[in-house]
Chains A and B, each alone.
Chain A
Amino acid sequence: MSVVGLLCIPFSAAFILLLPWPRKIMRFIFMAGGMLTAASGWTLVFGSHFQPRIFSLGGNLMLDSLSAVFVLLIVTIGVLSNIYASGYLFREGPAELSLGRLRRYAFFFHLFLFTMLVTVLSNNLGLMWIAIEATTLASAFLVNVDDKKSSIEAAWKYLILCTVGIALALFGVILVYYSIASRLPAGEGSDFLQWSFLVDKAAVLDPQIIKLAFIFVLVGYGTKMGLAPFHSWLPDAHSQAPGPVSALLSGVLLSCASVSLLRFHILTKAATGSAFSNDLLILFGIFSVAVAVPFIWEQADYKRVLAYSSVEHMGLVAVGFGFGGLWGIYGALLHVVNHALTKSLLFFCSGHLLYQFQTKEIKKVQGIFRKDPFLGSIFFFAVLAVAGMPPFSIFLSEFFILTAGFLAKKFLVCAILLGLLALIFAGFLRQGSHMTFGAYSGGAPLRERNVLMDGVLAVGIIVIFVMGFYIPGPLHELIRQASLLAGGNTP
């Protein structure tokens, strides 16, 4: 399986889905596309024997261990979301979506997967930028599936804010290009924007300019990644999108932005040899975690709670990158994976909740456990997991990140972080306990079960539980190599 081959599958699936298929067949193609993508992604990653780098398209696409982790993440969450959506959006009945909307949804879903894969696989910074912008464009329509007022509002904000942010990131890309182009003869021009090339030549780059570039990229990709104070679009978009899309947005898209930021961080570190980018990442990371606290405490909409928790977790990832070292990078990458799994699980749960309770208001959802013990227990465990409770996987990666902080002797930062995490835990528990427990007071009757949707939930909770105790060997090896790549070999 080649890199280009992998990219072809979702791309062609997207366009095949544009043809006027009947509902059943469209659903089949939709699922088949997702599964095929996943299968080929897995083959690609695990079949590559962890060769350091595989280039294609003239070096513009690259599969190294870092991108492999994210390919894995995209296709895995992608297929889960795909299966869930097959049950969720393609359901039939009085409230079913019209065929046109479904087609639009299916098309953009696969396109979205495609753009994300390009983002993480691109070695060319320009291409990466284009792909990230394309993810925004592709997902804006996914956010607005039903053309409701609030969905349009969310999609508009998402579109505008992310486009502005990404425009600023382009500024950074240009500055990087400038810094290399002004130092090296133009002959090698085609390689100038290639990350692998830039990292090799990091010594000749002008540190001052690279720092400026990093600032722009931090603001730009930080917006896409949902770091505070650039996160404002995130709760709107994530809360308005349908559950499976929110899962992808929150679990994967943010992670893709984070890997782009990480690549710039590696470059900046190599070029400047200073802790400039580390400090900025820690600063914005901490701020993101802090900003999430009040919004999780005082929130009326459960999907927004989850969205703010994504802000928090992306902050933690940034802090992990900032702490550096093997523990820090490993922890942050593991955190990306764990967060993606847990958060997507929660968004799937939110799909269930919306389906069962017909409301997004926390106040109106009570006694899930009474009404539906299966959903209730999975939801509550997932809430605990996302708030950092062992034995679930997020605890493990948070543990690694904070270990890195203590090893880096950043005691104050760690203390603040611990305090904020405890507050977030309190907020989550407050909301989660209210929703899960208590007597179930009437309302809509239990709707019929959907095997696909329930299956995804069960798989999700088992995976995050197992990963709290056990990191599969290949995954560990992959992340370890990725973190070594990201400068984790230096303590």
Chain B
Amino acid sequence: MEFLLFGQIVFYLAGAILPFILKDGGVINRWTHISAIAGGLIGVVYSLAVLVTGQGFSFAAPGLPFVGNLSLVVDPLSAFFIFVISFLSVPATIFAIRYIQEFQDKKRIAFLGFFYNLFILAMILVVCVHNAFYFLVFWEIMSLASYFLVVFEHEKIQARRAGIIYLVMTHIGTAFIAASFWLLAGHAGSFAFADFHLQAATLPPALKNAIFWTVLIGFGTKAGIIPLHIWLPEAHPQAPSHVSALMSGVMIKTAVYALIRFFLSFVGEVPLWWGVVILSLAIISAVLGILYALMERDLKRLLAFSSIENIGIILLGFGMTLIFVATDKPAYASFALIATLFHVLNHASFKGLLFLGAGAVLSKTHTGNAEELGGLIKRMPWTAVCFLTGAVAISALPPLNGFVSKWMIFCSLLSAHQSQELAVRFFTPILAALLGFAGALAATCFVKAFGICFLGEPRSEQARHAVEVSPSMQWAMGLLAGSCLGFALLAPWIVSILQKVSGTLIEADTPIPNFTFNGLFITLADFGQISPLVFGWMLSGAILILFAALAIFANRKVMLAPSWACGLPGLTARMQYTATGYSKPIRRIFSFLYQPTRQVELEDEGHEILRTAQRFESKTTHVFDEWIYRPLAKCMLFVSKKAKLMQTGHIQLYLSYIFITLIVLLVYWSRL
């Protein structure tokens, strides 16, 4: 199947190069994206084939001196991630064609097409390359390409700023990743993943722990776990929406891929506390991520923060995998891993969908600010349906896919209740409850997002004049919305495929007896089972029956009237609840976290009653920004300013540096 992989690579490369060959902006736009779609479809085909058959393939090309061959291996784990990337890239690209038509400027489209294709290609290569050096190279190309997509609208200062934060953070992360590779390579004697795996069992504990921390910080930065997340809410909203969809939907998952690869294949036995550390970070990310998302008024920033939450959820699953691996319960471990992977897939589908939805809104209203939206459900009905589907799925409500994977993660957490470790037994239910809490907050957040943006009356002229997006964009969103439902209904089948992936990573001697995925149900022995299909039937059945019953028995007359305004006339759009107002209870309750400040300015004409204007300003604080990163940056600038006093321009001073160093060295020499 190598030729399919090559085919995919060739299509992406072609898509990247075409913009420089073709002349007209529209033609470039079409062909560069068609090329990307073709690449994505090929990726879906061969990765599915690998997943279904469980048979991977590999390819090696001679590489640079010393660092070893450039080997590409598509094993089930890689195939899964290739599937997720390729799968999401197709609708995102379909969406892109019309979405970026507004930038008819040829240069810009070429720029976008080049980096877009490069970005997807780099992601594909990252998840299948099996050599540390090339991994780093592709990893950085991925970051770099996405950086350029983030600064796409570089005339805006925010975009440039976001780009800098993003690239710097990810570069720091890469430094840690590289360090972990060096530590591994120092032990294994080569940069080939195969050798890392072979030498895993003999890794000394101290080295192993060093690797753990470097890997966690390195990939944690990319994944956006709190407190390494600051780049994420800046960068994702700045990119064009279909790119945000890919960044949030799949790029940050490449970090999850790497974590799985490292901890389940490169390090041998896993200490219990690794799992505990990951779980702690995961729950912090999940809860704080969504709490921050709640405070956002900007649709895309809100989605970006919600990605942090979902990474937290994914890592909860992965943390449990490690805990079960450490306590030698392979069956549970593989259940947790399957849950993790399933949530990766699901998050890709609904987060992709939501970003595309946000993009649709943005393209028609030119604002992502919820305070200026409203009433779009009537103007953009299909977008609204799709966005709502995504919102329901991301809030993990049955019967859509988010619920299924979250249920599995709940099960993984709770099935630790028989653990020997008291702490594990005590904390896992609390973590599960906090996960539920995060879920409830997510529901709140997306009620707000959908409710304020799509329901009610439009709050601005742009929103009032919005119209539905073009059919191809609708198709793209529809595809993803369909997948949100489809993944839920097909859940047992998907899970049985994911079992093959986990089988290559977690060696269970016996076939796993504790859970089965046959037919309609996903079952975990101590837990019972769920069947999204049955839920779907039950719910829709109940709805249908009710509907029919009412249609027959109840009065069908409807009278239209203005909304209730306490009996006062003239309810205006400005009297609606705002996004800021909506999150006020949460802001009050968690004021210790947000440190909200408010400022009310009154203007009057001498008399207190004759108010002419009233301004209200409310701000929340991002504690990690304010208390960690900003002081760090300030400190750095301060130190730089002070350090520059070294170089005053006086040649005598420079001479004395040489002079003093020489004397010090001579004294050192005489003491040798």
Contacts and interface: CB of A to CB of B under 8 A. Distances in A.
A25 interface: no
Contacts of B654: 157, 161, 232-233
Interface in B156-180: 157, 160, 163-164, 167-168, 171-172, 175-176, 178-179
B172 A437 contact: no
A369 interface: yes
Nearest to A369: B154
B140 A403 contact: no
A178 interface: no
A168 B179 contact: no
A161 B66 CA distance: 40
Contacts of B67: 399
Nearest to B187: A406
A395 B140 contact: yes
Interface string A193-220: 0000000000000001001100110110
A422 B644 contact: no
A189 interface: no
Nearest to B67: A399
B133 A295 contact: no
A405 B175 CA distance: 14
A418 B66 contact: no
A425 B171 contact: yes
Given A330-B66, A389-B144, A433-B160, A422 B168 contact: yes
A52 interface: no
B644 A298 contact: yes
A373 B140 contact: no
Contact of B640 (A295, A369, A384): A295
B571 interface: no
Interface in A388-416: 389-391, 395-396, 399-400, 402-403, 405-407, 409, 411, 414-415
Given A164-B658, A229-B658, A297 B140 contact: no
A391 B182 contact: no
A85 interface: no
A235 interface: yes
Contact of A215 (B210, B657, B669): B669
A415 B642 CA distance: 24
B641 A298 contact: yes
Interface in B126-141: 133, 136-137, 140-141
Interface residues of B, number: 53
A394 B87 CA distance: 35
Given A327-B66, A400-B66, A223 B175 contact: no
Interface stretch (A2-10, A103-111, A242-250, A469-477): A469-477
Contacts of B665: 215, 218-219, 280
Contacts of A97: none
A291 interface: yes
A269 to B, nearest CB: 16
Question: What is the interface of chain A mostly: helix, strand, loop, or mixed?
Answer: helix
A438 B641 CA distance: 25
B647 interface: yes
Given A421-B175, A425-B171, A297 B186 contact: no
B669 A165 contact: no
Contact of B140 (A156, A216, A390, A429): A390
A465 B225 CA distance: 33
B49 to A, nearest CB: 30
B506 to A, nearest CB: 30
Contact of B164 (A218, A327, A429): A429
A403 B188 CA distance: 13
Contacts of A437: 151, 154-155, 160, 163
Most chain B CB neighbours (cut-off 10 Å) among A330, A370, A395 = A395
Contact of A384 (B144, B154, B642, B646): B144
Contacts of B653: 232
A429 B168 contact: yes
B167 A223 contact: no
Contact of A406 (B133, B183, B639, B643): B183
B422 interface: no
A439 interface: yes
Nearest to A308: B647
B65 A403 contact: no
A421 B178 CA distance: 13
B64 interface: yes
Given A160-B651, A418-B175, A438-B154, A229 B64 contact: no
A430 interface: yes
A478 to B, nearest CB: 12
A434 interface: yes
B658 A223 contact: yes
B628 interface: no
A352 interface: no
Given A232-B647, A418-B179, A219 B658 contact: yes
B661 A390 contact: no
Given A418-B175, A418-B179, A230 B657 contact: yes
A423 interface: yes
A51 to B, nearest CB: 22
Given A295-B644, A406-B185, A422 B160 contact: no
Given A295-B644, A437-B151, A230 B661 contact: yes
B672 interface: yes
A293 interface: yes
Contacts of B164: 426, 429-430, 433
Given A414-B182, A429-B167, 18 more contacts: A160-B655, A164-B658, A219-B662, A280-B665, A294-B642, A295-B647, A297-B640, A391-B141, A395-B137, A405-B182, A406-B182, A418-B178, A419-B175, A425-B168, A426-B168, A437-B163, A438-B154, A469-B137
29 contacts: A157-B654, A161-B654, A161-B655, A164-B655, A164-B658, A211-B672, A212-B669, A218-B665, A229-B657, A232-B647, A233-B654, A293-B643, A294-B641, A294-B643, A294-B644, A297-B637, A373-B107, A390-B136, A395-B140, A399-B178, A409-B186, A425-B171, A426-B164, A429-B164, A433-B151, A433-B160, A434-B160, A437-B163, A470-B64
Interface of B: 64-67, 107, 133, 136-137, 140-141, 144, 151, 154-155, 157, 160, 163-164, 167-168, 171-172, 175-176, 178-179, 182-183, 185-186, 210, 636-637, 639-644, 646-647, 651, 653-655, 657-658, 661-662, 665-666, 669, 672
Interface of A: 156-157, 160-161, 164-165, 168, 208, 211-212, 215-216, 218-219, 223, 229-230, 232-233, 235, 276, 280, 291, 293-295, 297-298, 326-327, 330, 369-370, 373, 384, 389-391, 395-396, 399-400, 402-403, 405-407, 409, 411, 414-415, 418-419, 421-423, 425-426, 429-430, 433-434, 436-439, 468-471, 476, 480
Closest 9 CB pairs of A and B: A294-B640, A232-B654, A437-B154, A294-B643, A406-B182, A298-B640, A297-B640, A229-B657, A390-B137
